[in-house]
A and B are shown apart, each in its own frame.
Chain A
């Protein structure tokens, strides 16, 4: 397996609070990797550090064996795309303009016909070409998430990072988004790294799951290896049963364990 993305010794602090501590990970080509963990465990911070939206205190991140820390931001944007949880909507753009923005790292100061063609192609692939002229802010949560994924696809990168893409969606749209991602990863050999809260969604659609707690990985591997009662107890402080159905583990929460002060 070739390492598409690797993170070594990564440290990050907000003021004096350490969020990521000597973090290691390596991800291969064409995988869906889910990062799960309780609130404040550093999932989103990790994702933002990988894309250098946040600048880590120390450590090494490489994509295609090139160091991200030394890269020009535009160069990073050609290799890694980022799908935020939602977009700022002060001045709404049309869906087409939103997707076209993803071409920014590839173009000179003005767009070309080839870039517009690419945007249409991505819209078509996700089945949202009919929304092209709708204002982004008028769309439902599920549609907005698809547009943000379309924008990341237009960026034409080998790695896509997603920050809780299913958090605001109903169950149909959650499945829709996760299936789209898995199909893209399979067909186009993209690597998707997803910070996600829903353990069952993560288990069903991921090739690998990393469980994080307090800035460190506690368990990592195939969903059925990671999703165990012991791990859930250690990471989340809950009691849960894990059942296998349809070849996939799923978590039945039973109760929480009384919290201990550190």
Chain B
């Protein structure tokens, strides 16, 4: 120790300065890491805007990026730009809701997966741990086979999926609260109720006619094709309530990951936060799933990609996981719509095909040891 100091400052007697120098080094390294995280999130925003601009031009009606932006601007400044009415219609009525919907849904799934992993203290948790997918599927089965629907009109599947998904996760949260809402009871109750609803789905699919079975299995693959401004309005308003609520608990989520006892000792009501986060995230995921079906992989993989790149500070991780989820879903959807000329491949399939190799690469090559130390 003394030798080392002498080595670095031969004049001697500069103990304080060399000490301060070391502190300075840690501090500037910390400031640098904060800056890197901010930069990553800004870069992610840039990537989203860039890929959205490119993807919106793809499809059967050809157009350029500048045409798209002129069309968008002309809605804000009426008559300011000359716009092709066909391009205007395609951009505003078909492609823009699809692209915004993909980003919004991906963002919600990524962010919800991230907070659920934190409160369940489990890297294998995903938005579907609480049985939302099988609950929503149950709702669709009920609509398809029994013809019992909550809503009439074009949204009858959506309404059923949403209500049943909420019922399913509500049941799980209520059951586990009886036992103190620890992460173990939530996960176990989730798995158990999931099996129950899966069994019901299998029963329905067993008795269903071919036509009914097609509706059920198509919904199960996940697709964004039905998104329009009405569904965007609903998704947007649920997100506008849920996402800020989740983000303002970012600090508590950091504490939750070090264990309930420690979290409590630092002033966090661990069980209450867990139930709150699970309820809010389930609401958002149920809304997303009821519109786009089960595209499950994003909610597991986007948070982990975020953790590998940024670490586990949820103040940065929540927006990063959301952004990554948004980008993944946006790109997967673009691929699924444009890969084959005549057929649209369900987005969920493409999602797994793109996401799994990316995820495997990051697990094997990622520098940061993310979990399981």
Contact = CB atoms under 8 A, between A and B. Distances in A.
11 contacts: A77-B265, A84-B262, A90-B372, A101-B258, A101-B266, A102-B266, A104-B268, A107-B251, A132-B27, A151-B266, A155-B266
A88 B266 contact: no
Given A82-B265, A84-B262, A133-B26, A93 B313 contact: yes
Contacts of B311: 93-94, 97, 135
A221 interface: no
Interface in A215-252: none
Contact of A133 (B33, B255, B262, B370): B33
B254 A97 contact: yes
A76 B267 contact: yes
Interface stretch (B42-50, B118-126, B352-360): B118-126
A80 B267 CA distance: 10
Nearest to A133: B29
B248 interface: yes
B3 interface: no
Contacts of A98: 258
Interface string A51-91: 11100000000000000000001111110111010011111
A171 interface: no
B188 interface: no
A138 B265 contact: no
A53 B373 contact: no
Contact of A91 (B123, B251, B262, B269): B123
Interface residue tally of chain B, by bracket? 35 or more
Interface string A105-141: 1010111000000001001100001101101011000
A92 interface: yes
Most buried by A among B121, B259, B307: B259
Given A51-B264, A84-B262, A133-B33, 10 more contacts: A48-B261, A82-B261, A89-B373, A91-B123, A91-B257, A97-B312, A98-B258, A101-B266, A109-B250, A155-B266
Contacts of B259: 84, 87-88
Nearest to B121: A90
A77 B270 CA distance: 13
B23 A97 contact: no
B30 interface: yes
Contacts of B372: 90
Nearest to B317: A91
Interface in B308-353: 311-313, 315
Contacts of A102: 266
B363 to A, nearest CB: 15
Contacts of B121: 88, 90-91
Nearest to A120: B27
B369 interface: yes
A12 interface: no
B262 A135 contact: no
A129 B26 contact: yes
Contact of A90 (B22, B250, B265, B371): B371
B30 A132 contact: yes
Contact of B265 (A81, A88, A109): A81
A137 B312 CA distance: 12
Given A89-B373, A91-B371, A129-B22, A109 B248 contact: yes
A20 B323 CA distance: 51
A130 B19 CA distance: 10
B370 A91 contact: yes
A73 B311 CA distance: 28
A155 B261 CA distance: 15
Nearest to A111: B251
Nearest to B26: A132
A93 B312 contact: yes
B267 A90 contact: no
Contact of A73 (B26, B118, B264, B371): B264
Contact of A92 (B27, B122, B252, B369): B369
Given A73-B268, A77-B266, A129-B22, A101 B27 contact: no
Interface in A127-171: 129-130, 132-133, 135, 137-138, 151, 155
Interface in A22-75: 48, 51-53, 73-75
Contacts of B249: 109
Contacts of A82: 261-262, 265
A50 to B, nearest CB: 10
B251 A130 contact: no
A114 to B, nearest CB: 15
Given A88-B121, A90-B122, A92-B312, A104 B266 contact: yes
Nearest to A85: B261
Contacts of B268: 73, 104
Most buried by A among B27, B250, B255, B265: B265
The 7 closest A-B pairs by CB, nearest first: A77-B267, A137-B373, A82-B265, A74-B267, A88-B259, A105-B267, A91-B312
B251 A73 contact: no
Contacts of A90: 121-123, 257, 371-372
Contact of B23 (A48, A92, A124): A124
Interface in B33-82: 33
A52 B266 CA distance: 11
A81 B315 CA distance: 24
Nearest to A87: B258
B313 A97 contact: yes
A186 to B, nearest CB: 23
Contacts of B123: 90-91
Contacts of A81: 265
A110 B22 CA distance: 27
